Amino acid sequence: MRIEFRDCIKQGLLRKLVPSPEKASKGFKKAQVFLAQAKRAFDVKAYDSCLMTCYQAIFLSAKAVLFKDGYREKSHACVARYLEEKYAKSGKIELKWIELLDRYRDLRHDDEYNVFFFASVKDCQELIKFASEFIEQMEKIILQNPKKVEGGDTR
């Protein structure tokens, strides 16, 4: 069952914080490191490791956006709902990025918890391509000029 943005807020799975450009920057840099590690895992045919590390790169880049905006997550699904609510609905990013984020979150879940699941070459090739493009999208958001944040604070 899909959780909605308002439920993420209501249940405390997304929490308001002071915006932190420093945490956003560090999180984004770590996402880039994880993407490079995922590519190395792919090169040595460690496909489950590739999938997990690649997803982590995606997640960290999305989480960096939340830090920039002054939010903290307690749920991977709520990160997608946040990006959907704050960026896709306003046309700042295409909805396809959120749909793919959800798809790869589910794939990561299968890899981590389903003992019968093994990541394939195709899974990893698609995920690396998506991760590279998704991280670029998150970088564009992070580098946007400072604007007013919720509650009227300025960055």
Q: Determine contact, residues 88/98, Cβ cutoff 8 Å.
A: yes
Examine residue 153 and state whether it is found in any structural domain, yes or no.
no
List all residues 6 or more positions away from 128 whose beta carbon is below 8 Å from its beta carbon.
Answer: 35, 38, 39, 42, 50, 54
pTM exceeds 0.85: yes
Residue 20 pLDDT more than 60?
Answer: yes
In total, how many domains does the chain have? 1
Nearest partner of 147 among 61, 64, 72, 69, judged by Cα: 69
**Domain containing residue 73: CATH number:** 1.20.120.330
Q: Determine contact, residues 54/127, Cβ cutoff 8 Å.
A: yes
Examine residue 155 and state whether it is found in any structural domain, yes or no.
no
Examine residue 15 and state whether it is found in any structural domain, yes or no.
yes
Examine residue 154 and state whether it is found in any structural domain, yes or no.
no
The residue segments making up the domain with residue 58 are 5-148
Q: What is the pLDDT of residue 2?
A: 86
Q: What is the pLDDT of residue 146?
A: 52
Examine residue 132 and state whether it is found in any structural domain, yes or no.
yes
Examine residue 108 and state whether it is found in any structural domain, yes or no.
yes
Query: Which tens digit of pLDDT belongs to each residue from 28-85?
Result: 999 999 999 999 999 999 999 999 999 999 999 999 999 999 999 999 999 999 999 9
Examine residue 116 and state whether it is found in any structural domain, yes or no.
yes
Q: What is the pLDDT of residue 1?
A: 74
List all residues 6 or more positions away from 25 whose beta carbon is below 8 Å from its beta carbon.
Answer: 64, 142
Examine residue 16 and state whether it is found in any structural domain, yes or no.
yes
